[in-house]
Structure 1
Amino acid sequence: MNTDTLYSKFQHSLQRLELVPGQQLVVALGGGADSQTILDCLNRFRQENPQYAYLAIHLDHHFHPDSPLWAQTIQQSVDDYGMTSHFEDLLFEQQTRVSKEAMGRERRYQRLAALTDDNAVILLGQHRNDQIETFLLQLKRGSGPRGLASMAEVQPFIGQRRLVRPLLDVSKEDILSYAHAHQLTWIEDDTNYDTQIERNYLRHEVIPKIEQRWPQFGHSVLRSAALCAEQDALLDELLADKLNDAWCQNHWLGTGLSVAQLSDYSEPLQRAAIRFWLTRHTDCQRMPSHAQLQEIQQQALNASSDAKVEVRLGAASVYLYAKALWWFKTDTQSPQLYGQGAQLGRPWDRVKWQLTEDQQRQVSIELTTIAQLSTPIKSQKLYQPGRQGGKLLRAWLKQARIPWWLRDDLPVLLVGDWLWLPVCGWLTCTDSSTPPPFKVSFERSG
């Protein structure tokens, strides 16, 4: 493949997206020849199509000791093109039972969404060789059609965003030829040659030997991946109508899967329904393994009505609550102190809070805000204006139908002996019937 052919493939990939003027085209940079080639192609496309917004993003986890030097090299390349960029260190605490690489990937995707417009097109550098490796890794894990479909050229992402892999049918050799021909600068990560890493072992030890024996093996793998993707898309199309009655809604949690409806299905259909329901969450980047799927299935159908069921899926969990399954991110950030109109972290990023004075009762009171409930408040009876008798906080929260795993991080507004909670409103430790002279309002923001 000559370099003009590679750029033509890139160009055609973007032209099929039905872009609109002002839409954001973002390249996610890692510094390798793949993403540097994407960057160069995007710069050529930018010169031909100035009507779009262009952005280059590099997120550094500091997995490698030389990563700060790599960031400088990448920054120089972006500056040479005169393209708007965002470079950022992205550190995190590793969770148990989740690899550093998997956690880093999830954090990168989350941050990419936060840094881009809702309808952004985010360009990734994966290529033909990556697709073959992914297929074989999924095969080793015993994946079904969804896993064997490997990576999609165009993949729905968080909100209306899309992940696009313009070079997915281009070989690594052709990418290197392009990079050399255009005198690009890129980084060679020495860890890419560590064959203790599964993907590297396939890349350097397994695939070359297979292709030496069967030269068409790579093409066959790509065809199988495409057929699996087609079968998976067809299954989703058939399930969409069949599962209409299985969805349920919750103010805080979005769309859940009814356990009652699930129990009416055959076991294979139950598992298919759970997988399909999870795909409705565009920020659910990790599908359950077969063992996790069976665990969700068994817990949903066999747990008691008051059981607190949670099945972890990377940085998210599937919960059983109110006779339905709910998917929810568990890597919540503790809400920070907030002021008027401020927006809190998930799950409270779905609401905007605002405090205003009651114009009929002008009184100056100093307000204090806290992010979490304190133990004394949890152990005391709380009263609501105009209602007889007090209740412990857990009773108020249960009555308000706030899911059990959200209750400990519920944001509270304190004003003297009064506190304000979402849904519950004003509560007090005393039997006072006169709440503070303030109105608190909140609304869904997403």
Structure 2
Amino acid sequence: MTDHSGSGSDAGRILRDALGVVLSALPDDTPIAIAYSGGLDSSVLLDAAVRAAGARRLFAFHVHHGLSPNADTWLAHCEATARAYGVRFEARRVDVAPDDAAGVEAAARDARYRALEAMCAAHGVQSLWLAQHADDQAETVLLQLLRGAGLAGLAAMAPAREVAGGVTRVRPLLGLLRAQLERYAHAFDLRWIEDESNADTRYARNALRHDVMPALSAHFPGFREALSRTAAHAASAQGLLDELARGDLLAAGATTPEALSHAALLALDDARALNLLRYWMRSLGMVAASTARLADALRQLREIARDGESHALRVDHAGRTLRCYRGEVFWDAAASATTMQIQGDGPRREPVQLNWRGEEVWRLPHWRGTYVFAPADSSDPDAMPETVLRRAPLVAREREGGERLRDEAANLSRTLKNLFQSRGVPAWERDVPLLYSGETLLFVPRIGVNRSALGEQLSALGSASADPWRRIEWREDLQIA
């Protein structure tokens, strides 16, 4: 792959200068990964990176989406090209549902980044180079404008961005036009693949590229540079908003980094409170919510502050549920309709019975969880003798209200409601199966063993305390977002 002309020298110098800026900020031994699809843009980036940084520092990572009948051919081309350069190569296959609710473009993009992150982690790569250029940036700004995005959306793609818990994503070609990359590819006789889906104008980005951009070029030749400046201005303004939000987040801090003070949040005006909510959600790694959803969340938070009914809060987003408890606002794993029901509402669950014969696991699908009976020492406060578990059928049943348990520390009998409140268990986490031995309450999840009832049974059993003991645990199913 040789420079054949003066125009090739010019194209090579432009790419060399662009990559030189990025390389100057990296230690000489930093491994670099190229996101290599095999298309023109990533082929130019890979070739220029080999010339500028050397093949020994590079990895070429390819993501096989399986959306095209030619995907296997593209994979073979990419692997052969990387080997010819002497660049280490790896590919990952991902599944993208054509009917994904987020749209094929968004689903494929998310799957691609997850696969690239996984390959970077596997090889200890800290710098991932992506081949987006100035035309891509202009398309992104236009798409965000048409979607009514805020400043964060208009800021489009950053030249470099650190991802929380991931690798730094770098776009060395963001200041270059696609035409400049084409000149480079032809000057150095590069071979690349053409993705047939790029011609499908049912996809929004393709429609812009084929139908809108040529018209803009004819009437506004400098629109790409103008839109890039717009993105830069938006990024600068968003940076100032983020700085304001960081201060507000510190002021609204709660007992854990994942929570906000309800009162401190509501002390802000709407615009500032919404800015804080956006920044807070980004800091938690959550996907952005629409303006309408955030406005509704803030409205509900103000309403429950007036009414005092925190369980009335109903905001779900990205597999999580917004909660407010004891003056703190936080995102909780979204619960199923079963676990969300308030005591006394909805259909009741029938009691479930087990004649215990040494089982370590008792699955209760209606409560989406499992009782575990693990071997334990008699000193364990949540353990009891096996004889107690065998003496009568074990029964899991719903709370009916009025159940009482002896508070050993206070030396008095208290209702479960009072015990839950004193231990800071919010209302939506109190829908748990109570464990009985016959008619005797033995164990309450989030509270523990009913020691007074256990004492009565031990007295009745005489030498039962010498038996093997089992620790009782209630384990909820994992909620997959």
CA contact (8 A) 1:62 1:89 kept: yes
The residue number in structure 2 matching 1:15 is 24
How far residue 67 of structure 1 moved from its aligned partner, in angstroms, is: 1.5
- CA shift for structure 1 position 171: 0.9
1:348 corresponds to which residue? Answer: none
* 1:4 alignment partner, one of 1, 13, 31: 13
CA distance in 2, matches of 1:134, 1:61: 22
1:302 aligns with 2:303: yes
The alpha-carbon deviation at position 249 of structure 1 amounts to: 4.8
Residue 56 (str. 1) matches residue 60 (str. 2) = yes
* AA in 2 matched with 1:171: L
Are residue 289 (structure 1) and residue 293 (structure 2) matched?
A: no
User: Is contact 1:257-1:325 (8 Å) kept?
Assistant: yes
Contact 2:420 2:447 (8 Å CA) reproduced: no
Q: Which residue number in structure 1 is paired with residue 261 of structure 2?
A: 258
Structure with higher helix content: 2
Deviation sequence 1:316-373 (CA, Å, 0-9, x none): 5452243444457879xxxxxxxxxxxxxxxxxxxxxxx9998x99xxxxxxxxxxxx
1:212 positional shift: 0.9
Q: Is the partner of 1:2 in helix, strand or coil?
A: helix
Query: Matched residues in 2 for 1:218 and 1:154: separation?
Result: 19
Which residue pairs with 2:276 in the alignment? 273
Q: Tell me, what secondary structure is at the counterpart of 1:70?
A: helix
* CA–CA separation in structure 1 for the residues paired with 2:175 and 2:13: 15
1:68 corresponds to which letter in structure 2?
D
Return closer, same or farther for 1:401/1:110 CA change in 2, 3 Å cut-off.
Answer: farther
SS at match of 2:310: coil
**Alignment partners' CA distance in 1, 2:414 and 2:86:** 64
For 1:104, the equivalent position in structure 2 comes to 108
Counterpart for residue 76 of structure 2: 72
CA distance in 2, matches of 1:41, 1:389: 76
Match of 2:358 in 1: none
| Contact map agreement 1:317 1:329 (CA 8 A) in 2 | yes
Alignment match, 1:41: 48
Offset, 1:38? 2.1
> Any stretches of 5+ residues in structure 1 without a counterpart?
332-354, 362-375, 409-417, 441-446
Equivalent residue number for residue 127 of structure 2: 121
Distance in 1 (alpha carbons) for counterparts of 2:24 and 2:208: 34
Contact between 2:33 and 2:59, CA under 8 Å: does it hold in 1? yes
Shift of 1:209: 0.9
TM-score by length of 2: 0.66
**Structure 1 pair 398/308, CA: closer, same or farther in 2 (3 Å)?**
farther
Across the aligned residues of Structure 1 and Structure 2, the Cα RMSD in angstroms comes to 4.3
Alignment partner, residue 351 of structure 1: none
Q: CA deviation at 1:104?
A: 2.7
Query: % of aligned pairs identical?
Result: 27
> Is the Cα–Cα contact under 8 Å of residues 321 and 403 in structure 1 kept in the other structure?
no
1:172 to 171, 178, 186: 178
Please tell me whether Structure 1 or Structure 2 has the larger radius of gyration of its CA atoms.
Answer: 2
Report deviation, 1:276. 1.7
Distance 1:220 1:398, change over 3 A: farther
How far did 1:188 drift? 0.9
One-letter amino acid of the structure 2 residue matched with residue 63 of structure 1: L
How far residue 215 of structure 1 moved from its aligned partner, in angstroms, is 1.2
* SS at structure 2 position matched to 1:202: helix
Mapped partners of 2:415, 2:31: distance in 1: 51
CA distance in 2: counterparts of 1:329 and 1:106, whole angstroms = 21
Return the alpha-carbon distance in structure 1 between the equivalents of residues 182 and 426 of structure 2.
54
Is the partner of 1:116 in helix, strand or coil? helix
The normalised TM-score by structure 1 is 0.70
AA aligned to 1:311 is D
SS of the residue 2:164 aligns to: coil
SS at match of 1:56: strand
Equivalent residue, structure 1, for 2:87: 83
Relative distance call for 1:123 and 1:290 in structure 2 (3 A) is same
Q: Distance in 1 between matches of 2:430 and 2:100?
A: 21
1:276-306 Cα deviation digits (max 9, x unpaired):
212323x44x322222222332233335312
Structure 2 residue runs of 5 or longer lacking an equivalent are 1-9, 336-373, 381-394, 433-441, 456-464, 474-481
Shift of 1:120: 1.5
Q: Deviations over 1:144-177 (max 9, x none)?
A: 2221111111112132531111111111111122
- 8 A contact 1:28–1:56 mirrored in 2: yes
Contact 1:300 1:320 in 2 (8 A): no
Which residue of 2 is the match for residue 350 of structure 1?
Answer: none
Alpha-carbon displacement from aligned partner over 1:100-125 (angstroms, at most 9, x marks no partner): 32223223333333333487122111
Q: How has the CA–CA distance of structure 1 residues 378 and 134 changed in structure 2, closer, same or farther, with 3 Å as cutoff? A: farther
Alignment of 1:25-424 (within 5 A): 25-47=32-54, 54-91=58-95, 97-117=101-121, 120-159=126-165, 161-250=167-256, 255-281=258-284, 283-284=285-286, 286-303=287-304, 304-307=309-312, 309-312=314-317, 315-317=318-320, 319-322=322-325, 323-327=327-331, 399=423, 401=425
Check 1:136–1:143 CA distance in 2 against 1; reply closer, same or farther (3 A cut).
Answer: same
* Structure-2 separation of matches of 1:31 and 1:221: 27
